[in-house]
Amino acid sequence: MGRKYTDREVAYEVDMDTGEVTGLIGPREQPINVPFWKKDENGGAVLMGQDGTQYKIGNTVSLQSGIPVGIAPNGTIATDGALTLGTALPTTYSTGIWLYFPAGAVSGDATGGLYWCVMSNTTQGIVYAPKVSTNNQFIPYLGNSTNAVTGSNSAYTQTTNAYVDIVRINLQANSLGARGRIFFTHSLSGINNANQKQFAWRWVTGSTNIYHMSMTTTPFVGVAHCVSRNRGVNRQMTSTWNNTSFQGTNPILYTSINTSVAQSIVASVQLTVATDFVILEGFSFEAFYSD
């Protein structure tokens, strides 16, 4: 089954079952047959070009994931990888969840990072190796490791008062053009208490916010939307957003991010109390090119 897409130079047809570009309509007559998407080194699905960079579908880059990822509350990881959390998560993630644990929670891990966890209830599960890092692009994917970690077998204290990156998206140079935009939707969950729990989409350059929210007694944000646009040049942007669970108006953010060069965007969470948690239940991301 095919579907047609266009960009500034050509129109092309995609096999929606295999994800391959099967035909070209326009200036070039020869069909091309290259992967339209493929998995990255961690197994996450990313749109790719023939040279291995992100590929634009009709001048659009699209990424999404429904695999949950978040920062765990205080707990203990036993030597057999058995996880016991001190605060219950909102549901039993029996099909898996990526959770961030601090340095020392897993034996030999001096920096902390994200691990695949399969939960048996809201506080207990198994933690699996290997650790993944958001120093490289990371789009949450379904883990399949059967290699349980060796935990420290002592209580860990979760990172507080500092952002922890849980997703990373890499944009190639000139992905947006002079008037392009990026668009996010996401859903979050967090514990219902008076403690501040923060979530942000940020440019890695300058740790500049694209979107930011603080949760306290509102335990769930069903859907949030964020749009960030270039303002006629590829070095000036505005960002606006809306959270459907909240009333009021959010300010416009004015930023100076140079999208003529490669840039990275991260989803980040921050706790003030180590017994809390924040889970990014899923998200979608699109980058639209416009001259």
Tell whether 226 is covered by a domain. yes
**CATH code, domain with 179:** 2.60.120
Q: Identify the helix (H) or strand (E) that includes residue 15.
A: strand 11-15
Tell whether 238 is covered by a domain. yes
Which residues of the chain are under the pLDDT cut of 70?
1-61, 217-229, 231-253
Pick from 177, 139, 230, 229: which is nearest to 59 by CA?
177
Instruction: Say if residue 179 is in the same domain as residue 252.
Output: yes
Which of 156, 182, 206 is where one domain is finished? Answer: 156
The confidence score (pLDDT) of residue 232 equals 63
Tell whether 54 is covered by a domain. no
Q: Name, in order, each residue with C-beta under 8 angstroms of 40's C-beta and a sequence gap of 6 or more.
A: 46, 137, 139
Instruction: Say if residue 93 is in the same domain as residue 79.
Output: yes
Q: Name, in order, each residue with C-beta under 8 angstroms of 67's C-beta and a sequence gap of 6 or more.
A: 96, 97, 98, 140, 141, 142, 282
Instruction: Say if residue 37 is in the same domain as residue 124.
Output: no
Instruction: Say if residue 142 is in the same domain as residue 169.
Output: no
Tell whether 61 is covered by a domain. no
Instruction: Say if residue 184 is in the same domain as residue 283.
Output: yes
Q: For the segment 164-202, what is each residue's pLDDT rounded down to a tens digit?
A: 999 999 988 888 888 788 888 888 898 889 999 999 999
Task: Please tell me the pTM assigned to this model.
Answer: 0.75
Tell whether 237 is covered by a domain. yes
Instruction: Say if residue 113 is in the same domain as residue 171.
Output: no
Instruction: Say if residue 211 is in the same domain as residue 116.
Output: no
Instruction: Say if residue 177 is in the same domain as residue 224.
Output: yes
Instruction: Say if residue 182 is in the same domain as residue 268.
Output: yes
The confidence score (pLDDT) of residue 257 equals 82
Tell whether 63 is covered by a domain. no
The confidence score (pLDDT) of residue 167 equals 96
Q: For the segment 9-39, what is each residue's pLDDT rounded down to a tens digit?
A: 445 455 555 555 565 544 444 434 343 444 4
Instruction: Say if residue 107 is in the same domain as residue 171.
Output: no
The confidence score (pLDDT) of residue 111 equals 96
Which of 116, 131, 156 is where one domain is finished? Answer: 156
Instruction: Say if residue 237 is in the same domain as residue 126.
Output: no
Number of domains comprising the chain? 3
Neighbours of 179 (CB within 10 A): 15
Owning domain of residue 25:
2-49
The confidence score (pLDDT) of residue 226 equals 65
